[in-house]
């Protein structure tokens, strides 16, 4: 596969939001209606499912600025796509606008709830206070 070339604007956006190996969640399953692209795709991401980014592609020509993802666990057959003046054999990618980064949950917060707190020591003066309340 050829080298991916990103515009400076796209590279900056990618650096801030997505990277290979990152987990994302599918927030929309309304993928491209382009019939050629749809025929090339055998397996689509499922709404609300989590995926790991395997490859990141930038669109060319009329698709410039579009960022596409290929995922671990979803491997579609390659097809010819236009890249400038040439036809390139690529796996179809899914538009990044249909995905959001997965926010990691810090389980330490929940673990701290399971740790019993030390009970306050009851002193004789506390017992007197309790007798008054009774």
Q: Is 128 within a domain?
A: no
Residue range(s) defining the domain that contains residue 81: 8-114
Q: Is 96 within a domain?
A: yes
Rounded to whole angstroms, the Cα distance separating 101 from 51 reads 10
Q: Report DSSP letters for 50-119, one per residue.
A: EEEEEEEEE--GGGTT-EEEEETTB-PPPEEEEETTEEEEE---EEGGGEEEPPPP-THHHHHHHSPPPP
pLDDT on residue 116: 73
Q: Is 98 within a domain?
A: yes
pLDDT on residue 69: 96
pLDDT digits (tens, 9 = 90+) for 10-25: 555 544 479 999 999 9
C-beta of residue 90 within 8 angstroms of C-beta of residue 82: no
Q: Is 70 within a domain?
A: yes
Mean pLDDT, all residues of the chain: 80
pLDDT digits (tens, 9 = 90+) for 80-113: 987 778 888 999 999 999 999 998 777 776 777 7
Beta bridge partner(s), residue 67: 58
Q: Is 43 within a domain?
A: yes
Confidence bin at 64 (pLDDT 50/70/90): confident
In the chain, how many domains are there? 1
- DSSP state at residue 120: P
- DSSP state at residue 30: -
The answer to whether residue 123 scores a pLDDT higher than 70 is no
CA distances from 11 to 27, 84, 92 (A): 23, 19, 20
Q: Is 102 within a domain?
A: yes
Q: Is 50 within a domain?
A: yes
pLDDT on residue 83: 76
Q: Is 45 within a domain?
A: yes
pLDDT on residue 68: 93
Rounded to whole angstroms, the Cα distance separating 55 from 18 reads 11
């Amino acid at each position: 596969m050829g080298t991916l070339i990103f515009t400076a604007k796209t590279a900056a956006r990618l650096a801030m939001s997505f990277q290979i190996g990152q987990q994302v969640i599918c927030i929309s399953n309304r993928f491209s209606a382009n019939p050629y692209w749809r025929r090339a795709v055998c397996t689509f991401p499922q709404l609300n499912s989590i995926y790991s980014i395997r490859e990141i592609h930038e669109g060319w020509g009329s698709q410039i600025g579009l960022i596409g993802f290929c995922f671990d666990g979803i491997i579609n057959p390659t097809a010819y796509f236009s890249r400038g003046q040439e036809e390139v054999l690529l796996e179809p990618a899914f538009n990044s606008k249909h995905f959001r980064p997965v926010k990691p949950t810090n389980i330490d917060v929940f673990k701290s709830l399971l740790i019993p707190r030390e009970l306050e020591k009851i002193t004789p003066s506390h017992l007197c206070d309790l007798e008054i309340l009774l």
